[in-house]
């Protein structure tokens, strides 16, 4: 989807301190052979800070950096991939009460690790669909707050054994998206699905009663193994995985075409915070790009941050001076579904909080 006249005005991050892989190995929580194999360095751990509070702090920072009033927001999209609070309660209303006020459409986005990409698509479409890109009076540009937050430190989750080739980190990331020209422009964003691989994240677990209602832990390792076993039995597995690879390349090409760019124009790539071999094989080598253009060196230190990986990587690149005016960031993600998502951001000016 082309996103003309859609800009990033502010970014906010809540990233707690990390627990190192060495400490996790010493405590018997992470296998030593996996530490050597995957080359991960640690995971951000928020302790007992609730995910909605993390989201609030990230959003407050995004507004402060943008110099934007929270009450002048038209849309709030809250992405998450893990439990946020009491069942039957939705976390976006916590931010509505504490930050943006009542005259804002507030929606929770449940698309797993690709939730922020869905929020970018929905937010850009919403802003572009408003009359003249402004409110009814035409007094100001339209603005959306996109936020993602997760705290995985719960009894039904083992962050060190969450899935093959990654560990789970806690974090929140926020984006102030607007039709007002700013330091960065969202050029294009898109998603695609490979639904024949849907069982990859479900395994053989029954759909009813839902796992959390009976205290069943989340274990993507076991589900992935169950999927592979079932796929071998009926012969569907290899074809689905090949389809995921092919669709990834197609999606990236389409997103770049919509942005009017080629891979030669890509300065950096923000993928999932996975192991070196996964980032290299499934992303960088597949695109024909060197690992030096990836954000793996940063991602390996904080863990897989749910739906926040790419946004927090963007913030890191900006604050570290690794993205400059004229540079382009390709963001790429994969999540249950299997869904694939991609977006391209152009840096127009130095970020205000970095200058």
304 DSSP 8-state letter:
B
Q: Residue 43: which of 261, 243, 299, 329 has the closest Cα?
A: 299
Tell me what the mean pLDDT of segment 11-26 comes to. Answer: 97
Q: Residue 271: which of 117, 148, 70, 122 has the closest Cα?
A: 117
Q: Give the pLDDT band (50/70/90) at residue 30.
A: very high
> Who wins on pLDDT, 122 or 235?
122
Alpha helices in the chain (DSSP H): 21-26, 32-38, 51-66, 92-95, 115-129, 220-234, 237-259, 276-278, 285-287, 296-302, 309-319
CA 175/CA 331 separation, integer angstroms:
14
Would you state the pLDDT for residue 135?
A: 46
CA 106/CA 96 separation, integer angstroms:
7
CA 234/CA 81 separation, integer angstroms:
30
The residues facing 44 across adjacent strands are 18
Would you state the pLDDT for residue 355?
A: 73
Residue 205 has pLDDT above 80, yes or no: yes
Q: For 219-277, what is each residue's pLDDT tens digit?
A: 888 888 888 777 666 666 567 778 888 999 999 999 999 999 999 999 999 999 999 99
74 DSSP 8-state letter:
S
Mean pLDDT taken over the chain: 93
Q: For 327-352, what is each residue's pLDDT tens digit?
A: 999 999 999 989 999 999 999 999 99
Residue 56 has pLDDT above 80, yes or no: yes
> Which DSSP helix (H) or strand (E) runs through 29?
none
Would you state the pLDDT for residue 128?
A: 87
Q: Which range (94-108, 119-133, 167-181) has the least confidence?
A: 119-133
Strands 105-109 and 143-150: unpaired
Question: For the whole model, what pTM was predicted?
Answer: 0.94
Strand runs labelled E in 66-181: 75-79, 105-109, 143-150, 171-178
Residue 174 has pLDDT above 50, yes or no: yes
Instruction: Report percent pLDDT > 90 for the chain.
Output: 79
CA 156/CA 51 separation, integer angstroms:
16
The radius of gyration of the chain from alpha carbons, rounded to an integer in Å, stands at 20
Q: Which range (43-57, 126-140, 264-278) has the least confidence?
A: 126-140
Would you state the pLDDT for residue 25?
A: 96
Domains with residue ranges and CATH for the chain: 7-181 (3.40.47.10), 188-347 (3.40.47.10)
Tell me what the mean pLDDT of segment 5-9 comes to. Answer: 96
Residue 68 has pLDDT above 80, yes or no: yes
CA 180/CA 182 separation, integer angstroms:
6
Distance from chain centroid for Cα 318: 17
Distance from chain centroid for Cα 43: 16
Would you state the pLDDT for residue 9?
A: 97
Residue 127 has pLDDT above 50, yes or no: yes
CA 271/CA 134 separation, integer angstroms:
33
Tell me what the mean pLDDT of segment 148-163 comes to. Answer: 94
Tell me what the mean pLDDT of segment 107-126 comes to. Answer: 96
């Amino acid at each position: 989807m082309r996103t003309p006249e859609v800009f990033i005005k502010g970014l906010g991050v809540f990233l707690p301190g990390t627990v190192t892989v060495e400490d996790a190995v010493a405590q018997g929580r992470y296998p030593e052979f996996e530490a050597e194999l995957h080359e991960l360095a640690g995971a951000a751990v928020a302790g007992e800070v609730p995910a909605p509070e993390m989201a609030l702090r990230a959003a407050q920072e995004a507004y402060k950096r943008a110099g934007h009033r929270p009450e002048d927001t038209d849309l709030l999209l809250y992405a998450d991939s893990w439990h946020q609070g009491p069942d039957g309660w939705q976390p976006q209303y916590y931010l509505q009460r504490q930050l943006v006020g009542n005259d804002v459409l507030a929606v929770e986005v449940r698309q797993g690790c690709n939730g922020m990409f869905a929020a970018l698509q929905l937010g850009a479409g919403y802003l572009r669909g408003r009359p003249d890109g402004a409110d009814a009076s035409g007094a100001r540009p339209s603005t959306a707050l996109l936020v993602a937050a997760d705290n995985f430190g719960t009894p039904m989750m083992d962050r060190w054994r969450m899935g093959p080739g990654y560990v789970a980190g806690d974090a929140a990331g926020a984006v102030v998206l607007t039709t007002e020209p700013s330091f960065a422009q969202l050029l294009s964003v898109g998603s695609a699905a490979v639904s024949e691989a849907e069982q990859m994240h479900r395994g053989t677990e029954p759909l009813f009663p839902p796992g959390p209602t009976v205290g069943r832990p989340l274990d993507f390792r076991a589900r992935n193994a169950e999927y592979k076993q079932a796929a071998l039995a009926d012969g569907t597995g290899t074809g689905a995985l090949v389809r995921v690879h092919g669709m990834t390349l197609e999606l990236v090409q389409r997103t770049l075409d919509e942005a009017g760019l080629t891979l030669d124009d890509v300065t950096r790539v923000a993928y999932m915070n996975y192991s070196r071999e996964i980032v290299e094989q499934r992303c960088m080598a597949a695109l024909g790009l060197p690992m030096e253009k990836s954000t793996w060196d940063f991602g390996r230190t904080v863990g897989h941050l749910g739906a926040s990986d790419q946004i927090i990587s963007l913030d890191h690149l900006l604050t570290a001076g690794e993205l400059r005016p004229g540079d382009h960031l390709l963001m790429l993600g994969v999540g249950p579904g299997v869904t694939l998502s991609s977006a391209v951001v152009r840096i127009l000016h130095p970020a205000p909080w970095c200058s």
